[in-house]
Amino acid sequence: MLMKNNPVLYIVVPCFNEREALPQSHAKLAKLMDEMISQDIIAQESKLLYVDDGSRDDTWEIIERLAAENGRVAGVKLACNSGHQNALMAGLAAAVEHCDITVSIDADLQDDITVIPKMVERYKDGCDIVFGVRKERKTDTWFKRTTANMFYRLMKWLGVSTIENHADYRLMSRRAVLALLDYKERNLFIRGIVTKLGYKTDCVYYNRSARIAGESKYPFKKMVNFAIDGITSFSMKPVRLVMQVGLLFLFIALIMLIYVLCAYFMGRAVSGWPSIILSIWLVGAFVLIGLGIIGEYVGKIYTEVKNRPRYNIDTTVGLESVKS
């Protein structure tokens, strides 16, 4: 087993209008952190970092009060609501300077915090990323469960690597966070990126519970937008599909040509019909193929614009480590 000094842990919690949930969640997280410190699992300097994502209620005042009462609380306030993924990035960026590991978790504590010590254990065993994975989600509504399942299946089909039933509850080492921060894209779908970093990963499993208080901050519209971001940020398959349909149309046009010729020679073709029916299929095919070709170029431009890192160094020998 790889022995390391006890790591400094920052638990990063994005909060948007969480006045009902935050005080209860904080009490639980602070208690867990104290226990982990006294059990010598993490370092004394560990902290809870709350990110206020431009809340319209008094979430920030609550965070300020918690920070005044407890030296282990830190806060970051975003100037306006920037969305869960951006809030999480802001928190990780702020935390990474001060800690060895981060754990990101939602403010409603639907994810079981008692597995955090297990995550730290895996980190000490040499993992850079530890995913929290839901075993079952009975407490979510039928609708949320089904749409989420369909989404994961669609993502898999589109070739986007995500961990099924893993949201944004995960431990990341310092170097994994630094690697993630190298992804400068605006349409963030963090759970799609972390699987691409290439570091050693592991999963811990838990049962998802109901929201501690307040209501979901992910209404249907935000959920759909998030899903579209996830797909279009990672997959060129939809564009290629247009091209494939175009080729299919071209094939149909050929069959139609044979059909029309047969009909013509058998004297069953009404005058004017052959040229019209052939034009419809051929023009349709060329338009779609044209769109597919343009799509390929747009896709290339998109990949360039995202400016993602080309590689991520795991380790070096005979050189000073590039990232620690």
Query: Contact positions toward ligand UDP, by CB under 6 A?
Result: 14-16, 18, 53, 81, 83-84, 87, 106-108, 110, 216-218
Q: Which does 132 bind (CB under 5 to 8 A by kind): Mg ion, ligand UDP, none?
A: none
Q: Rounded to a whole number, what is the distance in angstroms from the first to the last CA of the chain?
A: 19
Cα 130 from Cα 289, distance rounded (Å)? 43
Quick check: 11 and 33 in contact, CB under 8 A? yes
Q: Which is nearer to Mg ion, 206 or 259 (CB)?
A: 206
Q: Minimal distance in Å, beta carbon 84 to ligand UDP?
A: 4
β-strand partners of 203: 131
Report the partner that residue 217 touches, choosing among ligand UDP, Mg ion, none (CB closer than 5 to 8 A by kind).
ligand UDP
**Could you tell which of Mg ion, ligand UDP, none binds residue 26, using a CB distance below 5 to 8 A set by kind?**
none
Q: Give the residue with the Cβ less far from ligand UDP, 13 or 160.
A: 13
The least CB distance from residue 201 to Mg ion, in Å, is 23
Q: Which residue ranges make up the site for Mg ion (CB under 5 A)?
A: 106, 108, 110
Q: How many CB atoms lie within 10 A of CB 228?
A: 12
242/297 Cα distance (integer angstroms)? 13
Closer residue to Mg ion (CB): 111 or 128: 111
Nearest one of 192, 206, 195, 194 to 132, comparing CA atoms: 206
Give whichever of 143 and 265 is closer to ligand UDP, judged by the CB atom: 143
For the CB of residue 221, give the shortest distance to ligand UDP in the complex, in Å. Answer: 11
CB of 82 vs ligand UDP, minimal distance in Å:
7
Nearer to ligand UDP, 122 or 217 (CB): 217
Closest approach, Cβ 95 to ligand UDP, in A, equals 15
In the complex, the smallest distance separating the C-beta of residue 11 from ligand UDP, rounded to whole angstroms, is 12
Tell me the closest approach of the beta carbon of residue 58 to ligand UDP, in angstroms: 14
Q: How far is CA 180 from CA 60, 196, 220, 323, in A?
A: 26, 9, 27, 13
Closest CB to ligand UDP among residues 84, 122: 84
55 touches, from ligand UDP, Mg ion, none (C-beta below 5 to 8 Å by class): none
Contact partner, 53, from ligand UDP, Mg ion, none, Cβ < 5-8 Å per class: ligand UDP
Contact 177, 123 (CB under 8 A): no
C-alpha 47/C-alpha 93 separation (Å) is 14
Tell which phi-psi region holds residue 16, choosing left (phi > 0), alpha (psi between -120 and 50) or beta: beta
What does 75 bind: Mg ion, ligand UDP, none (CB cut-off 5 to 8 Å by kind)? none
Nearer to ligand UDP, 84 or 166 (CB): 84
Q: How far is the CB of 251 from Mg ion (least distance, A)?
A: 47
Pick what 15 binds: ligand UDP, Mg ion, none; C-beta below 5 to 8 Å, kind-dependent: ligand UDP
C-alpha to C-alpha distance for 169 and 75, rounded to whole angstroms: 19
The option from ligand UDP, Mg ion, none interacting with 100 (CB < 5 to 8 A, set by class) reads: none
Nearer to ligand UDP, 106 or 112 (CB): 106
